[in-house]
Chains A and B, each alone.
Chain A
């Protein structure tokens, strides 16, 4: 089961992450304000909790899956170096890199 979940892409770029954070904070704060006022009016705190939970569910749907609006500024990576031309000079560097990673 785990390999299937790992193959679904869930990344966002940095501006998308910032946008997602602002979106969920705004939604939860707005639903908390609405819920507080509504619970104060009808004198039941249960409705306040329900409204905040609804805001939580809406922000879950909006920010947890990686929608295309969060991927509008992708990072431009440099092109990968082909390995066949740089083999003799890169072998000791590769072995030291492997030691550092482990």
Chain B
């Protein structure tokens, strides 16, 4: 501590350790919150085709086109945007079971909600963003849609699924 450089070195290292402790404290205060949000999904039109699937083996697979309505209010009484959340990544996935696979999950649509943006979602007649291919020909059974919200923390990644419909 007798030269400027050694003082600056110890000062900087101490500041970094204190910042690490603050970051851990921030994680501890928000890691165990319950973040469920009720949502309302309604499928308005389903169109199913059976076409050539060029991404996989050369067989004809099922291709589904889905248009749906979605309404959700993500900012209820307790806010979901606390200080540990940088943005929200929402995605809609269809889960179903077939003969060959017991559980399939296909992502149909996603959206990124940044901090400070509008948090009331009221979507009508949204088309699916991604192709809804099936491995075989099993899309004719009933599928259940589930909406999952992934908060992308600035400090920690956390996955949580909320189901409705």
Tally A-B pairs: CB < 8 A.
Answer: 63
Question: Is the C-beta of B154 less than 8 angstroms from some C-beta in chain A?
Answer: yes
In the complex, are the beta carbons of A43 and B82 less than 8 A apart? Answer: yes
Question: Is the C-beta of A40 less than 8 angstroms from some C-beta in chain B?
Answer: yes
Identify the closest chain A residue to B15 (Cβ): A56
**Contact status of A45 and B18, CB under 8 A, knowing A24-B11, A59-B11, A60-B11:** no
Question: Is the C-beta of A72 less than 8 angstroms from some C-beta in chain B?
Answer: no
Where chain B touches its partner, the secondary structure class is: helix
Instruction: State how many residues of chain B have any CB contact under 8 Å with chain A.
Output: 25
Question: Is the C-beta of A94 less than 8 angstroms from some C-beta in chain B?
Answer: no
Identify the closest chain B residue to A13 (Cβ): B2
Question: Is the C-beta of B79 less than 8 angstroms from some C-beta in chain A?
Answer: yes
- Residue positions of A touching B, CB distance < 8 A: 10-12, 17, 20-21, 24-25, 28-29, 32, 35-36, 39-40, 42-45, 48-49, 52, 56, 59-60, 63-65
19 further A-B contacts with Cβ under 8 Å, apart from A21-B10, A24-B14, A45-B83, are A10-B4, A12-B2, A21-B1, A28-B11, A28-B14, A28-B15, A29-B18, A32-B19, A35-B22, A36-B26, A39-B83, A42-B83, A43-B81, A45-B84, A56-B15, A60-B8, A63-B7, A64-B8, A64-B11
